[in-house]
Chains A and B, each alone.
Chain A
Amino acid sequence: MSESRITPMTAAEIFRRRELTTMQRIQRALHRHPEISPLCVLLAALVTFSFASSRFLQPSNLSLILQQVSVVGSLAIGQTLIILTAGIDLSVGAMMLLVTMVIGVLAGKAGVPGWLSLGIGIGVGGFAGFLNGVLVAQVRLPPFIVTLGSLNVFIAIALLMSGGRSIPGADLGPFLVATNLSFPVGPFQFTVGAVLVIAMYLAVGFALSQTAWGRHVYAVGDDSSAARLAGIQVKRLLLSVYTLTGVIVALSAWVLIGRVGAATTSSAVDANLDSVTAVVIGGASLFGGRGSLLGTFLGAVIVGVFRNGLALARFDVLYQTLAIGLLIIAAVSLDQWIRGVKAQR
């Protein structure tokens, strides 16, 4: 193409048109499609663990992994939205337990019908998320501090409501534990909860990639003052993100109640940090504006695959923790390198 130009090229132009090195090509590709790296990690893990244990790739085990990651994967949807806006949410786990206890007390003690308890739980989740959003968007406090505070508030209320006891599934009625019902799809077993989570991924993924709202989420996370000058209502957008996250968290509580078979505060203690882990391994940038829900889904599955595969290979649980820790550091380093794309050119 350069031969056809009439004017001779300057040295700088020749330099600009130089062939990219392989590394630069990889860097550009990863920059455009942040989900490539978690996909590679996942494939490598699947291959490795299938050698380590013959049971690993069996449909029953793969179905189990999907069920095991459904709660964290669900929280990670909300976490992705918030991290895309350059925030972080330390309270989603506590909020999920709060909603769990609200639903449990209403259905198990007050005798409210299951569907209505869930509806009220969703309202409580949305309102709790909205309060986080008000503190972040209106009062302009850093999301880390806001959610560190609300984490403690939510967990305290949840414990006060439970009185230290869990409410068994038998008291909750069939509707609330229905998320644990499973049905076969070919050789695999899907639970209603897992299907619900996948549907949430599809719905929120559509909103992020195909609507103006999704674009605005990226723009605000990228540079919120630029987004404001470009005519985006930043406060309103942040409120919508935090409120939607609350609703997603409430649905996660439903999935959790089904998986545990009870409403209890003693489960899913690591779920909050695991949700951050899934988002980061999924290729999203903690600086905001970059990442995708597909990446987060892969990230959540990777965490589940590592935990399950290492357990099957009879490694101590501490090695699972070690492996996840290394994965996080590798993912963040990779993100830093990918972000270097803009420095070139």
Chain B
Amino acid sequence: MNASIAIDADSARVPVLSARGLVKTFGPVVALDGVDVDVYSGEVLAIIGDNGAGKSVLIKCLTGAEIPDAGQLRVEGRPVAFRKPQDARDAGIETVYQSLALSPALDIASNMFLGRERRRDNILGRWLHMLDKRGMRREAAEKVATLGIQTIQDITQVVETLSGGQRQAVAVARAVAFGGKVIVLDEPTAALGVREGGVVLEIVRKLRNQGLAVILISHNMPHVFESADRIHIQRLGRCAGVITPKTHTMPQAVAIMTGAISVADSLPGAAAGNPGRAGDLEG
């Protein structure tokens, strides 16, 4: 497949999720200083950057967990303003946050269905809002099994008794099990072993092939270069550029990330033919 053709195809389509000029400050700290993001259906957009570059804040602004001070969000071209995470979920955006956002005292099945519990399909459910606990457990177990996550075995195990990697697997399973248009993963493989990390990357590929958009934050460059279609490099609260694994090497990406070189230096005119992104490079 030819990289420039892929990019041209992208630019003709409407991004499923896009942001323009996102600004987020915490008192004196400027976490985001005017960031643009576009992610298209059927692609994996990786976001890389040093610690504190603003990656997590960026995806929090995209998913309703933080409200940006300025900037515009669009879902499939329509302007949206997320006030809370549930708004983004309703718009089809599922997220694994870096903190995982699991409830330690609840079991795995309860966590997977947290905020979208299923009621019994009878009078008890309709009138008394009674939960369909057995159904949710069965479905949670099925979903975990289809995803190929073997580290989770007993779906009724309480999350606080799981290891860090198992918790991460639960969080990933929760985000991808219910579909959606955009899946956002903030360092989903950081605590995972080689096998489970590979399973998550496999899931990411599967989601892309199903036509979903995936935003993947990772510090693991081999993972990023293996699975990303485009790489958004975040540096000091700004976007230092968007590159692709085809046009850049890992050392180049790291050099841009640390500010040793700029994207323009690394590849004169490489991203041409895409005026939308040329703006990013100057910013």
A residues sitting closer than 8 Å to B (CB atoms) are 31-32, 206, 210-213, 215-216, 218-219, 222-223, 225-233, 289-290, 341-342, 345
Rounded to whole Å, the gap between the CB of B210 and the closest CB of chain A is 23
Rounded to whole Å, the gap between the CB of B122 and the closest CB of chain A is 13
Chain A at the B interface: SS class: helix
Chain A residues within an 8 Å CB radius of B101: 225-227, 229-230
CB within 8 Å of A: which of B129-172? 129-131, 158, 160-163
Q: Please tell me if B221 contacts chain A, counting CB pairs below 8 Å.
A: no
Considering the complex, give the chain A residue whose CB is closest to the CB of B63.
A229
The reply to whether A226 and B106 contact each other, CB–CB distance below 8 Å, is no
A212, A219, A345: which contacts B103 (Cβ < 8 A)? A219
A215 to B101, CA, bound (A): 15
Q: Please tell me if B267 contacts chain A, counting CB pairs below 8 Å.
A: no
Rounded to whole Å, the gap between the CB of B131 and the closest CB of chain A is 6
Q: Interface 1/0s, chain B 105-145, versus A by CB < 8 A?
A: 11000110011110100000000111100000000000000
Best-surrounded residue of B89, B101, B103, B130 (most CB of chain A within 10 A): B103
A218 to B130, CA, bound (A): 16
The reply to whether A341 and B161 contact each other, CB–CB distance below 8 Å, is yes
Rounded to whole Å, the gap between the CB of B159 and the closest CB of chain A is 9
A300 to B134, CA, bound (A): 32
The reply to whether A215 and B117 contact each other, CB–CB distance below 8 Å, is yes
B65, B97, B131, B163: which contacts A215 (Cβ < 8 A)? B131
B99, B105, B119, B158: which contacts A229 (Cβ < 8 A)? B99
The reply to whether B114 and A230 contact each other, CB–CB distance below 8 Å, is yes
B residues sitting closer than 8 Å to A (CB atoms) are 65, 84-86, 89, 95, 97, 99-106, 110-111, 114-117, 119, 128-131, 158, 160-163
A31, A215, A229, A289: which contacts B110 (Cβ < 8 A)? A215
The reply to whether B102 and A218 contact each other, CB–CB distance below 8 Å, is no
Chain B residues within an 8 Å CB radius of A228: 65, 84-85
With A229-B65, A229-B99 known to touch, is A219 a contact of B114 (CB < 8 Å)? yes
A342 to B106, CA, bound (A): 12
The reply to whether A206 and B128 contact each other, CB–CB distance below 8 Å, is yes
B102, B104, B130, B158: which contacts A211 (Cβ < 8 A)? B130
27 residue pairs A–B, Cβ–Cβ below 8 Å: A32-B158, A210-B130, A210-B131, A211-B128, A212-B131, A213-B129, A215-B106, A216-B115, A218-B103, A218-B106, A219-B106, A222-B104, A225-B101, A226-B99, A226-B101, A228-B84, A228-B85, A231-B84, A231-B114, A231-B115, A232-B86, A232-B115, A233-B84, A289-B105, A341-B160, A341-B161, A345-B161
A218 to B117, CA, bound (A): 14
4 additional contacts (CB under 8 A) given A211-B128, A345-B163:
A211-B129, A219-B106, A229-B101, A233-B86
The reply to whether A222 and B85 contact each other, CB–CB distance below 8 Å, is no
Rounded to whole Å, the gap between the CB of B121 and the closest CB of chain A is 15
A108 to B130, CA, bound (A): 41
The reply to whether B65 and A230 contact each other, CB–CB distance below 8 Å, is no
The reply to whether B105 and A222 contact each other, CB–CB distance below 8 Å, is yes
The reply to whether A230 and B130 contact each other, CB–CB distance below 8 Å, is no
Rounded to whole Å, the gap between the CB of A170 and the closest CB of chain B is 40
Chain A residues within an 8 Å CB radius of B160: 341-342
Chain A residues within an 8 Å CB radius of B116: 231
A231 to B84, CA, bound (A): 8
